[in-house]
Amino acid sequence: MKSNFSATKSLFDIPKDIIYLDGNSLGPPTTITSKKINTFINEKWAKLLIKGWNSDKWIDKPKNIGNRIATLIGAENDSVIVGDTLSIRTYQALHAAIKLKPKGKVILSDSGNFPSDLYIAQGLIESLNLSYELRIVEPHEVFDCITEEVAVLLLTEVDYRSSRKHNMLQLTTKAHTMGAITIWDLAHSTGVLSVKLQEANADFAVGCTYKYLNGGPGSPAFIYVAPKHQAKSENAIKGWLGHASPFNFTKQFQPSSGIDKMQIGTPPIIASTALEASLDIFDIVDIKDIGIETIKLTEFFIDQTHKHCPELKLISPTCSQKRGAHLAFAFTDGYALMQCLIEHGVIGDFRMPNLIRFGFNPLFIDQNDVSKALEILFDIMQNKKWDKPEFKVKSYVT
Ligand SMILES: *Cc1c(COP(=O)(O)O)cnc(C)c1O
Protein backbone atom coordinates (compact mmCIF):
# COMPACT_ATOMS: atom_id res chain seq x y z
CA MET A 1 0.00 0.00 0.00
CA LYS A 2 1.51 3.29 -1.05
CA SER A 3 -0.88 5.61 0.78
CA ASN A 4 0.33 6.98 4.08
CA PHE A 5 -2.68 7.44 6.33
CA SER A 6 -0.78 8.79 9.31
CA ALA A 7 0.30 11.59 6.98
CA THR A 8 -3.26 12.31 5.89
CA LYS A 9 -4.51 12.15 9.50
CA SER A 10 -2.14 14.97 10.42
CA LEU A 11 -3.77 17.11 7.72
CA PHE A 12 -7.14 17.24 9.46
CA ASP A 13 -8.28 19.63 12.09
CA ILE A 14 -10.27 17.56 14.60
CA PRO A 15 -10.41 18.36 18.33
CA LYS A 16 -8.02 16.04 20.20
CA ASP A 17 -10.69 14.81 22.63
CA ILE A 18 -13.07 13.74 19.87
CA ILE A 19 -13.20 10.53 17.86
CA TYR A 20 -15.05 11.54 14.76
CA LEU A 21 -17.03 8.66 13.31
CA ASP A 22 -19.45 10.84 11.36
CA GLY A 23 -17.39 11.76 8.31
CA ASN A 24 -20.07 9.98 6.30
CA SER A 25 -22.47 12.82 7.14
CA LEU A 26 -20.10 15.76 7.27
CA GLY A 27 -16.37 15.47 6.75
CA PRO A 28 -14.07 17.59 8.96
CA PRO A 29 -12.00 20.53 7.69
CA THR A 30 -8.38 20.04 6.72
CA THR A 31 -5.65 22.02 8.44
CA ILE A 32 -5.24 24.15 5.32
CA THR A 33 -8.93 24.85 4.67
CA SER A 34 -9.18 28.00 6.76
CA LYS A 35 -5.87 29.32 5.49
CA LYS A 36 -6.90 28.74 1.88
CA ILE A 37 -10.23 30.49 2.42
CA ASN A 38 -8.58 33.42 4.20
CA THR A 39 -6.00 33.74 1.46
CA PHE A 40 -8.71 33.59 -1.14
CA ILE A 41 -10.71 36.35 0.54
CA ASN A 42 -7.77 38.62 1.29
CA GLU A 43 -5.54 38.02 -1.71
CA LYS A 44 -7.96 37.16 -4.47
CA TRP A 45 -11.47 38.42 -3.82
CA ALA A 46 -10.40 41.63 -2.07
CA LYS A 47 -7.62 42.49 -4.51
CA LEU A 48 -8.86 41.17 -7.84
CA LEU A 49 -12.53 41.92 -7.27
CA ILE A 50 -14.52 41.06 -10.39
CA LYS A 51 -11.36 40.59 -12.45
CA GLY A 52 -10.83 37.31 -10.57
CA TRP A 53 -13.40 35.51 -12.73
CA ASN A 54 -10.90 35.77 -15.60
CA SER A 55 -7.48 36.32 -14.07
CA ASP A 56 -7.81 33.75 -11.26
CA LYS A 57 -9.97 31.50 -13.47
CA TRP A 58 -12.87 31.27 -11.01
CA ILE A 59 -15.13 30.62 -13.97
CA ASP A 60 -13.26 27.38 -14.72
CA LYS A 61 -13.56 25.96 -11.20
CA PRO A 62 -16.76 23.92 -11.74
CA LYS A 63 -15.11 21.94 -14.54
CA ASN A 64 -11.61 21.78 -13.05
CA ILE A 65 -12.94 20.44 -9.77
CA GLY A 66 -15.25 18.16 -11.75
CA ASN A 67 -12.21 16.67 -13.45
CA ARG A 68 -10.52 16.07 -10.11
CA ILE A 69 -13.60 14.28 -8.82
CA ALA A 70 -13.82 12.31 -12.09
CA THR A 71 -10.53 10.60 -11.25
CA LEU A 72 -12.03 9.39 -7.94
CA ILE A 73 -15.16 7.90 -9.49
CA GLY A 74 -13.70 6.28 -12.57
CA ALA A 75 -15.20 8.84 -14.93
CA GLU A 76 -13.91 10.23 -18.21
CA ASN A 77 -12.26 13.64 -18.39
CA ASP A 78 -14.77 16.48 -18.94
CA SER A 79 -17.75 14.39 -17.87
CA VAL A 80 -18.29 15.83 -14.37
CA ILE A 81 -19.30 19.36 -13.37
CA VAL A 82 -19.58 20.80 -9.88
CA GLY A 83 -22.14 23.18 -8.40
CA ASP A 84 -25.58 23.42 -6.78
CA THR A 85 -26.87 20.74 -4.42
CA LEU A 86 -27.21 17.01 -4.78
CA SER A 87 -31.00 17.32 -4.76
CA ILE A 88 -30.83 19.72 -7.74
CA ARG A 89 -28.34 17.48 -9.52
CA THR A 90 -30.69 14.52 -9.05
CA TYR A 91 -33.52 16.53 -10.60
CA GLN A 92 -31.33 17.41 -13.57
CA ALA A 93 -30.17 13.83 -14.06
CA LEU A 94 -33.67 12.40 -13.89
CA HIS A 95 -35.08 15.01 -16.25
CA ALA A 96 -32.23 14.48 -18.72
CA ALA A 97 -32.66 10.69 -18.55
CA ILE A 98 -36.39 10.94 -19.31
CA LYS A 99 -35.69 13.34 -22.19
CA LEU A 100 -33.50 10.67 -23.77
CA LYS A 101 -36.80 8.85 -24.32
CA PRO A 102 -36.23 5.38 -22.95
CA LYS A 103 -39.15 3.11 -23.89
CA GLY A 104 -40.52 2.26 -20.44
CA LYS A 105 -42.75 4.33 -18.17
CA VAL A 106 -41.41 3.31 -14.77
CA ILE A 107 -38.78 5.04 -12.66
CA LEU A 108 -37.44 2.21 -10.54
CA SER A 109 -35.89 2.87 -7.15
CA ASP A 110 -35.63 1.11 -3.81
CA SER A 111 -36.85 1.66 -0.28
CA GLY A 112 -33.28 2.22 0.89
CA ASN A 113 -32.87 5.28 -1.28
CA PHE A 114 -32.44 8.64 0.39
CA PRO A 115 -35.78 10.46 0.76
CA SER A 116 -34.64 13.49 -1.25
CA ASP A 117 -34.02 11.30 -4.30
CA LEU A 118 -37.50 9.80 -4.02
CA TYR A 119 -39.17 13.18 -3.38
CA ILE A 120 -37.38 14.66 -6.39
CA ALA A 121 -38.70 11.83 -8.58
CA GLN A 122 -42.25 12.19 -7.22
CA GLY A 123 -42.14 15.97 -7.61
CA LEU A 124 -40.80 15.83 -11.16
CA ILE A 125 -43.53 13.42 -12.26
CA GLU A 126 -46.23 15.57 -10.62
CA SER A 127 -45.08 19.01 -11.65
CA LEU A 128 -44.47 18.07 -15.27
CA ASN A 129 -47.61 15.98 -15.37
CA LEU A 130 -45.66 13.03 -16.72
CA SER A 131 -47.25 9.64 -17.18
CA TYR A 132 -44.44 7.92 -15.29
CA GLU A 133 -44.76 5.71 -12.25
CA LEU A 134 -42.21 5.83 -9.45
CA ARG A 135 -41.88 2.19 -8.39
CA ILE A 136 -40.13 1.60 -5.08
CA VAL A 137 -39.10 -1.99 -4.36
CA GLU A 138 -36.98 -3.61 -1.69
CA PRO A 139 -33.23 -3.30 -2.33
CA HIS A 140 -32.77 -7.06 -2.84
CA GLU A 141 -35.62 -7.11 -5.38
CA VAL A 142 -34.14 -4.45 -7.66
CA PHE A 143 -32.36 -6.81 -10.05
CA ASP A 144 -35.46 -8.89 -10.75
CA CYS A 145 -37.64 -5.79 -11.06
CA ILE A 146 -35.62 -4.34 -13.93
CA THR A 147 -38.01 -5.20 -16.74
CA GLU A 148 -38.83 -3.61 -20.08
CA GLU A 149 -41.30 -1.38 -18.25
CA VAL A 150 -38.39 0.47 -16.65
CA ALA A 151 -37.30 3.75 -18.21
CA VAL A 152 -34.90 4.94 -15.52
CA LEU A 153 -33.14 3.06 -12.74
CA LEU A 154 -32.57 5.61 -9.95
CA LEU A 155 -30.42 4.14 -7.18
CA THR A 156 -28.01 5.18 -4.48
CA GLU A 157 -25.02 2.88 -4.59
CA VAL A 158 -24.49 2.74 -0.81
CA ASP A 159 -27.61 2.83 1.35
CA TYR A 160 -27.39 5.81 3.73
CA ARG A 161 -28.86 3.76 6.55
CA SER A 162 -27.75 0.15 6.18
CA SER A 163 -24.54 0.74 4.16
CA ARG A 164 -25.64 -2.04 1.78
CA LYS A 165 -23.90 -1.58 -1.54
CA HIS A 166 -25.55 -2.27 -4.87
CA ASN A 167 -23.62 -4.01 -7.62
CA MET A 168 -23.32 -1.12 -10.05
CA LEU A 169 -21.93 -3.12 -12.96
CA GLN A 170 -24.48 -5.90 -12.74
CA LEU A 171 -27.52 -3.62 -12.33
CA THR A 172 -26.39 -1.18 -15.01
CA THR A 173 -25.82 -4.03 -17.46
CA LYS A 174 -29.27 -5.48 -16.82
CA ALA A 175 -30.87 -2.03 -17.10
CA HIS A 176 -29.27 -1.55 -20.50
CA THR A 177 -30.48 -4.92 -21.79
CA MET A 178 -34.00 -3.77 -20.86
CA GLY A 179 -33.58 -0.39 -22.56
CA ALA A 180 -33.39 1.59 -19.30
CA ILE A 181 -31.10 4.45 -18.35
CA THR A 182 -29.25 4.45 -15.04
CA ILE A 183 -28.71 7.23 -12.49
CA TRP A 184 -26.33 6.42 -9.66
CA ASP A 185 -26.28 8.56 -6.53
CA LEU A 186 -22.75 8.36 -5.15
CA ALA A 187 -23.31 10.36 -1.95
CA HIS A 188 -21.93 7.59 0.26
CA SER A 189 -19.37 6.26 -2.21
CA THR A 190 -17.41 9.25 -3.48
CA GLY A 191 -14.03 9.63 -1.82
CA VAL A 192 -14.09 6.33 0.04
CA LEU A 193 -14.84 3.53 -2.46
CA SER A 194 -13.33 2.83 -5.86
CA VAL A 195 -16.25 3.75 -8.05
CA LYS A 196 -15.87 2.78 -11.71
CA LEU A 197 -18.49 4.67 -13.68
CA GLN A 198 -16.87 4.22 -17.07
CA GLU A 199 -16.22 0.52 -16.53
CA ALA A 200 -19.83 0.00 -15.42
CA ASN A 201 -21.00 1.92 -18.50
CA ALA A 202 -23.10 4.13 -16.21
CA ASP A 203 -25.25 6.79 -17.86
CA PHE A 204 -25.66 9.47 -15.19
CA ALA A 205 -24.33 9.91 -11.68
CA VAL A 206 -24.67 12.54 -8.98
CA GLY A 207 -23.03 13.07 -5.63
CA CYS A 208 -22.20 15.51 -2.88
CA THR A 209 -18.81 16.69 -1.65
CA TYR A 210 -19.43 17.39 2.05
CA LYS A 211 -19.42 13.72 3.14
CA TYR A 212 -16.26 11.68 2.40
CA LEU A 213 -14.78 14.49 0.28
CA ASN A 214 -14.70 16.82 3.31
CA GLY A 215 -15.69 19.90 1.29
CA GLY A 216 -17.56 21.59 4.15
CA PRO A 217 -21.23 21.99 5.09
CA GLY A 218 -23.25 22.57 1.92
CA SER A 219 -20.23 22.35 -0.39
CA PRO A 220 -21.18 22.07 -4.10
CA ALA A 221 -22.50 18.82 -5.55
CA PHE A 222 -21.63 17.21 -8.87
CA ILE A 223 -23.26 15.59 -11.86
CA TYR A 224 -21.75 13.07 -14.27
CA VAL A 225 -23.10 12.64 -17.77
CA ALA A 226 -21.54 9.82 -19.84
CA PRO A 227 -19.84 11.30 -22.91
CA LYS A 228 -22.15 9.33 -25.23
CA HIS A 229 -25.19 11.13 -23.75
CA GLN A 230 -23.81 14.63 -23.50
CA ALA A 231 -24.91 15.88 -26.94
CA LYS A 232 -28.52 14.73 -26.47
CA SER A 233 -28.87 15.55 -22.77
CA GLU A 234 -30.96 18.53 -21.83
CA ASN A 235 -30.62 20.68 -18.72
CA ALA A 236 -33.97 20.98 -16.89
CA ILE A 237 -32.94 24.25 -15.30
CA LYS A 238 -31.81 26.55 -18.06
CA GLY A 239 -29.71 29.16 -16.35
CA TRP A 240 -27.38 31.55 -18.10
CA LEU A 241 -24.19 29.62 -17.36
CA GLY A 242 -25.55 26.56 -19.18
CA HIS A 243 -25.79 28.76 -22.28
CA ALA A 244 -23.28 28.37 -25.12
CA SER A 245 -22.32 32.07 -24.88
CA PRO A 246 -23.52 33.48 -21.55
CA PHE A 247 -21.87 36.83 -22.15
CA ASN A 248 -23.73 37.45 -25.38
CA PHE A 249 -26.80 37.88 -23.15
CA THR A 250 -29.14 36.75 -25.89
CA LYS A 251 -32.85 36.27 -25.25
CA GLN A 252 -33.00 32.74 -26.59
CA PHE A 253 -31.47 29.81 -24.70
CA GLN A 254 -28.81 27.97 -26.65
CA PRO A 255 -27.25 25.11 -24.67
CA SER A 256 -23.53 24.87 -24.21
CA SER A 257 -21.91 21.67 -25.44
CA GLY A 258 -20.44 18.85 -23.37
CA ILE A 259 -20.81 18.73 -19.61
CA ASP A 260 -20.82 22.56 -19.42
CA LYS A 261 -24.47 22.55 -20.40
CA MET A 262 -25.35 21.19 -16.94
CA GLN A 263 -24.26 24.43 -15.28
CA ILE A 264 -27.02 26.68 -14.02
CA GLY A 265 -25.86 29.88 -12.34
CA THR A 266 -22.86 31.53 -10.70
CA PRO A 267 -20.62 28.93 -9.02
CA PRO A 268 -19.86 29.20 -5.27
CA ILE A 269 -16.19 30.17 -5.30
CA ILE A 270 -15.53 30.36 -1.54
CA ALA A 271 -17.11 26.93 -1.05
CA SER A 272 -15.14 25.64 -4.05
CA THR A 273 -11.94 26.89 -2.43
CA ALA A 274 -12.67 24.83 0.68
CA LEU A 275 -13.40 21.82 -1.49
CA GLU A 276 -10.13 22.25 -3.39
CA ALA A 277 -8.24 22.27 -0.09
CA SER A 278 -9.65 18.86 0.82
CA LEU A 279 -9.22 17.45 -2.70
CA ASP A 280 -5.49 18.17 -2.41
CA ILE A 281 -5.33 15.32 0.12
CA PHE A 282 -6.64 12.89 -2.48
CA ASP A 283 -3.61 13.73 -4.62
CA ILE A 284 -1.37 11.91 -2.11
CA VAL A 285 -3.48 8.78 -1.59
CA ASP A 286 -4.86 6.04 -3.77
CA ILE A 287 -8.62 5.65 -3.59
CA LYS A 288 -8.13 1.86 -3.73
CA ASP A 289 -6.08 2.02 -0.53
CA ILE A 290 -8.82 4.03 1.18
CA GLY A 291 -11.26 1.23 0.33
CA ILE A 292 -8.92 -1.46 1.68
CA GLU A 293 -8.30 0.44 4.92
CA THR A 294 -12.01 1.05 5.37
CA ILE A 295 -12.63 -2.68 5.25
CA LYS A 296 -10.00 -3.29 7.94
CA LEU A 297 -11.51 -0.70 10.27
CA THR A 298 -15.11 -1.81 9.78
CA GLU A 299 -14.22 -5.50 10.16
CA PHE A 300 -12.44 -4.77 13.43
CA PHE A 301 -15.42 -2.77 14.72
CA ILE A 302 -17.87 -5.51 13.75
CA ASP A 303 -15.76 -8.24 15.33
CA GLN A 304 -15.35 -6.36 18.62
CA THR A 305 -18.99 -5.30 18.98
CA HIS A 306 -20.09 -8.83 18.16
CA LYS A 307 -17.91 -10.17 21.01
CA HIS A 308 -18.49 -7.50 23.64
CA CYS A 309 -21.79 -5.85 22.76
CA PRO A 310 -24.23 -8.41 21.37
CA GLU A 311 -27.17 -6.12 22.25
CA LEU A 312 -26.18 -4.00 19.27
CA LYS A 313 -27.58 -5.68 16.20
CA LEU A 314 -25.53 -5.08 13.06
CA ILE A 315 -27.86 -4.32 10.18
CA SER A 316 -25.10 -3.63 7.64
CA PRO A 317 -23.99 -6.51 5.41
CA THR A 318 -21.38 -8.68 7.10
CA CYS A 319 -19.61 -9.22 3.77
CA SER A 320 -17.24 -6.28 3.35
CA GLN A 321 -17.58 -6.31 -0.45
CA LYS A 322 -21.27 -5.64 -0.09
CA ARG A 323 -21.14 -2.52 2.05
CA GLY A 324 -19.83 1.02 2.13
CA ALA A 325 -17.65 2.72 4.74
CA HIS A 326 -20.16 3.14 7.54
CA LEU A 327 -21.86 0.66 9.83
CA ALA A 328 -25.36 0.75 11.23
CA PHE A 329 -26.57 -1.01 14.35
CA ALA A 330 -30.12 -1.36 15.62
CA PHE A 331 -30.71 -0.65 19.30
CA THR A 332 -34.06 0.24 20.85
CA ASP A 333 -32.67 3.24 22.70
CA GLY A 334 -30.33 4.14 19.86
CA TYR A 335 -30.98 7.87 20.10
CA ALA A 336 -30.09 8.04 23.80
CA LEU A 337 -27.07 5.80 23.27
CA MET A 338 -25.74 8.06 20.52
CA GLN A 339 -26.28 11.20 22.61
CA CYS A 340 -24.37 9.55 25.44
CA LEU A 341 -21.53 8.54 23.08
CA ILE A 342 -21.32 12.11 21.79
CA GLU A 343 -21.20 13.37 25.39
CA HIS A 344 -18.23 11.02 25.88
CA GLY A 345 -16.42 12.28 22.76
CA VAL A 346 -17.40 9.63 20.22
CA ILE A 347 -19.40 11.23 17.42
CA GLY A 348 -21.61 9.12 15.20
CA ASP A 349 -25.25 9.76 14.37
CA PHE A 350 -28.76 8.39 14.61
CA ARG A 351 -31.30 7.49 11.94
CA MET A 352 -34.93 6.67 12.53
CA PRO A 353 -36.35 4.46 13.85
CA ASN A 354 -33.57 2.93 15.98
CA LEU A 355 -30.30 2.98 14.07
CA ILE A 356 -26.95 4.30 15.19
CA ARG A 357 -24.35 4.88 12.50
CA PHE A 358 -20.56 5.04 12.62
CA GLY A 359 -18.50 6.18 9.63
CA PHE A 360 -14.90 5.10 9.08
CA ASN A 361 -12.88 7.45 6.91
CA PRO A 362 -9.25 6.22 6.95
CA LEU A 363 -8.00 9.67 5.95
CA PHE A 364 -8.39 10.68 9.60
CA ILE A 365 -9.55 7.60 11.56
CA ASP A 366 -7.09 4.85 12.45
CA GLN A 367 -7.23 1.58 14.35
CA ASN A 368 -6.22 3.30 17.58
CA ASP A 369 -9.19 5.69 17.33
CA VAL A 370 -11.50 2.76 16.69
CA SER A 371 -10.15 0.88 19.73
CA LYS A 372 -10.68 3.92 21.93
CA ALA A 373 -14.20 4.46 20.60
CA LEU A 374 -15.00 0.81 21.30
CA GLU A 375 -13.74 1.06 24.88
CA ILE A 376 -16.02 4.04 25.48
CA LEU A 377 -18.93 2.27 23.81
CA PHE A 378 -18.49 -0.88 25.91
CA ASP A 379 -18.29 1.11 29.14
CA ILE A 380 -21.48 3.00 28.26
CA MET A 381 -23.30 -0.22 27.37
CA GLN A 382 -22.15 -2.25 30.36
CA ASN A 383 -23.07 0.50 32.81
CA LYS A 384 -26.21 1.61 30.95
CA LYS A 385 -24.88 5.14 31.02
CA TRP A 386 -27.19 6.15 28.18
CA ASP A 387 -30.28 5.60 30.33
CA LYS A 388 -30.72 9.17 31.49
CA PRO A 389 -33.50 11.64 30.61
CA GLU A 390 -31.06 14.23 29.22
CA PHE A 391 -29.98 11.82 26.46
CA LYS A 392 -33.57 11.32 25.32
CA VAL A 393 -34.37 14.92 24.36
CA LYS A 394 -34.38 15.08 20.57
CA SER A 395 -32.71 17.85 18.56
CA TYR A 396 -33.96 18.82 15.10
CA VAL A 397 -30.87 17.53 13.29
CA THR A 398 -30.08 13.96 14.35
C1 LIG B 1 -26.67 13.15 1.76
C2 LIG B 1 -27.55 12.68 0.66
C3 LIG B 1 -28.34 13.57 -0.08
C4 LIG B 1 -28.44 15.02 0.32
O5 LIG B 1 -28.79 15.89 -0.71
P6 LIG B 1 -28.49 17.45 -0.54
O7 LIG B 1 -29.20 18.08 -1.67
O8 LIG B 1 -27.02 17.63 -0.57
O9 LIG B 1 -29.03 17.88 0.79
C10 LIG B 1 -29.05 13.08 -1.17
N11 LIG B 1 -28.99 11.77 -1.51
C12 LIG B 1 -28.26 10.89 -0.79
C13 LIG B 1 -28.24 9.46 -1.20
C14 LIG B 1 -27.55 11.31 0.32
O15 LIG B 1 -26.86 10.43 1.06
**Distance from the alpha carbon of residue 103 to the mean position of ligand 1, in angstroms:** 28
Q: What local confidence, expressed as pLDDT, does residue 130 receive?
A: 84
Q: Which pLDDT belongs to residue 348?
A: 98
Give pLDDT tens digits for 10-27. Answer: 999 899 999 999 999 999
Residue 271: pLDDT over 80: yes
Per-residue pLDDT at 1 exceeds 80: no
**Averaged pLDDT, 103-108:** 97
Q: Beta strand pairing status for 346-347 and 106-110?
A: unpaired
What separation in Å is there between the alpha carbon of 341 and the centre of ligand 1?
A: 25
Quote the ligand 1 centre to 63 CA distance (angstroms). Answer: 21
Task: Give burial (CB, 10 Å; 0-12/13-18/19+) of 395.
Answer: exposed
Mean pLDDT of 352-371: 97
Predicted TM-score (pTM) of the model is: 0.97
pLDDT of res. 392: 93
pLDDT digits (tens, 9 = 90+) for 343-352: 999 999 999 9
User: Average pLDDT for residues 294-300, to the nearest whole number?
Assistant: 98
**The pLDDT of residue 227 is above 80:** yes
Mean pLDDT of 182-203: 98
In contact, 275 and 220? CB cutoff 8 Å: yes
Annotation marks residue 114 as catalytic:
yes
Per the annotation, the verdict on 185 as an active-site residue is yes
Q: E strand or H helix at 62, and its extent?
A: helix 61-72
pLDDT the model gives residue 267: 98
Give the pLDDT mean for 206-220: 98
Residue in 174, 211, 261, 323 annotated catalytic: 211
Task: Give the mean model confidence (pLDDT) for residues 95-106.
Answer: 96
Mean pLDDT, range 113-136, rounded to an integer: 96
Domains of the chain: 5-30+286-392 (3.90.1150.10), 34-282 (3.40.640.10)
Predicted confidence at residue 397, as pLDDT, reads 87
Q: Residue 361's pLDDT is what? A: 98
Q: What is the mean pLDDT of residues 227-239?
A: 98
Residue 387 is classified by DSSP as -
Radius of gyration of the chain, Cα coordinates, nearest whole angstrom:
22
Q: Which atom of ligand 1 is nearest to the CA of 114?
A: 13
Give the pLDDT band of residue 398 (cuts 50, 70, 90).
confident
